[in-house]
Amino acid sequence: MLAAHALDGAPYRVEWSEFPASQNLLEALGAGAIDVGLVGDQPFQFAYQAGSPIRAVGAQAVRPAQHETLAIMVPGPSPIRSVEALKGKRVATTRGSAAQYLLLRALAARGLKASDVTQVYLSPGDAKAAFDSGAVDAWTTWIPYTGLALKSGARILVDGADYVNFLAFEAANVTAATEKQAILADFLDREARALLWAHGNPGPAASVLAKETGLPLDIARFTVDHGQRIAVPIDDRLKADEREVVSTFKAAGEIAGDRPSEDAYLPLWRGDASPSSKK
């Protein structure tokens, strides 16, 4: 949005806050410290089922789906060559994340249970340190960390493109979702147009990403290229996909909540952000 100047002329001021992962952002949302933030669909559902006062007001998807956006990684020299070989191994992950969801799906597809591996719950930064030092045998993570790991010689064991729909939500605190609907709707429309702009301007988008985050420019470009998103409607198909996310976490014993899934959504963006949109 900064690179596309999407907020130029907005009748409100945006204050940005940065978080290392969705879980930290969701904690701030639940506490009312921020109004809205972009999170993966899996951590959103994890937090919602745990009782967090949040609603999904907008949705995004990686289009087209990209390889290396989300992956289970192993060190280059590792003898681990299959998901089955993870049995009994230590896998770094972030609890309730898209990365953990990928791990659970990949294990289930091979007839394995979550308990067949030792999940080591770490923040992305700590997980990278543990992976680099050999304290864990594998690491399931997302961009830009996949790019950083590949650059350091890691190898992809499982690619998320085979298991995950790459959905994300603009999640809002329930108070903001009800009291600031006009502002949020305008923000989401501007964001949808900025995402389309980024599809056609990956270089400038990567330059601003590198400047704002401190990522090396090549990793910023990797992140942009592997995370091209568009706004998508919160429709029945998306909700069906999300029920599978919740079921997967429940089957693994990761969440026990039973909140009505329909109540998780308060769509405030209903525009057209297809790549052919004239917006």
pLDDT tens sequence across 30-66: 999 999 999 999 999 999 999 999 999 999 999 877 8
Q: In what order do the strands lie in the sheet with 167-173?
A: 36-40, 167-173, 54-62, 229-232
- Note the pLDDT of residue 278: 36
Q: What is the pLDDT of residue 271?
A: 75
User: How many CB atoms are closer than 10 A to CB 183?
Assistant: 17
Q: Which residues pair with 141 in a beta bridge?
A: 71
CATH of domain 70-162: 3.40.190.10
What pLDDT does 277 receive?
Answer: 39
3-state secondary structure of 224: helix
Using alpha carbons, select from 74, 90, 239, 259 the residue that is nearest to residue 150: 74
The pLDDT assigned to 149 comes to 96
Q: Could you tell me the residue ranges of all domains in the chain?
A: 22-65+165-264, 70-162
pLDDT score at 273: 47
How far is the C-alpha of 44 from the C-alpha of 170, rounded, in Å? 9
Q: Three-state SS for 203?
A: helix
Query: pLDDT under 50 in the chain at which residues?
Result: 273-279
pLDDT confidence of residue 275: 42
Q: How far apart are CA 131 and CA 135, in angstroms?
A: 6
pLDDT score at 272: 58
The residue behind tokens 């992305």 is 124
Encode 79-97 in three state secondary structure: CCCCCHHHCCCEEEECCCC
Q: b/e map of 234-256 (b: 16 or more CB within 10 Å)?
A: beeebeeebeebbebbeebebbe
- Cβ atoms 255, 46 nearer than 8 A: yes
Torsion of CA 109, 113, 114, 116, to 10 degrees: -120
Topology of domain 22-65+165-264 in CATH is D-Maltodextrin-Binding Protein; domain 2 (3.40.190)
pTM as predicted: 0.86
How does pLDDT run across 185-206, given as a tens digit for each residue? 999 999 999 999 999 999 999 9
- H or E segment and range at residue 196: helix 181-200
